[in-house]
Amino acid sequence: MLRFSLLSANEIEFMEKMYEAAVLDPLTRIYNRRYFFGLLHQYIEKNMRAKQRLALIIIDIDHFKILNDTYGHQVGDFALRHVSSLICLTVRAGDKVCRFGGEEFTILLNEVDLPEATSIAERIRATVEDNPLLYEGAVIPMTVSIGVATLDHAFGSPDRLFALADARMYEAKNAGRNQVCNGPVALPR
């Protein structure tokens, strides 16, 4: 305790930057994949003790490769920042938004059931669709496909929760994109 009270302003700033580098995605400035998995396990442990409800949303930007190939990676980066900011503006305070990788995002939601989580996911989907990417005079329509799962449907397993939300996101893509899926899907074995 004494050591930390004797830190200089430069040392504190350095430690804060190191922490941010460890938990934040450098492009979008939201939590990263590593932070997501640590938080997921924390939330599940808490859920087991306190019997709280937990939901996971997985979001994938539709046709992102085409956007990158058509407009270039700089516009792709701008699109990732655009979508992440729309997601952050749409979720509730306390929901944890993470960039999972590539064009995928995850959101952990405490104290919601499947209908509530689906409603939040639908708001995100509509917000992205209603707010096209504006870049150097170009208006680029964007949509997302979303999978939603709850811990009670995953029998308390973090791996199963992720697999269920992921399978539902792929089902949304396979069903035509720009939609939310929360229904029955076949999980990979």
- Scored b (16 or more CB within 10 A) or e, 98-132 reads bbbeebbbbbbbeebebebbbebbeebbeebeeee
3-state secondary structure of 46: helix
User: What are the beta bridge partners of residue 149?
Assistant: 56
Q: Residue 16 catalytic?
A: no
Query: Between β-strands 96-101 and 54-61, what pairing exists: parallel, antiparallel or unpaired?
Result: unpaired
Asked whether the beta carbons of 153 and 93 are under 8 A apart, the reply is no
User: What are the beta bridge partners of residue 104?
Assistant: 60, 101
Query: Between β-strands 180-181 and 144-150, what pairing exists: parallel, antiparallel or unpaired?
Result: parallel
Outline where DSSP puts E strands in the chain.
54-61, 96-101, 104-110, 133-135, 138-140, 144-150, 180-181
From the candidates 11, 103, 111, 171, give the one annotated as an active-site residue.
Answer: 103
Point out the residues that are catalytic.
Answer: 103
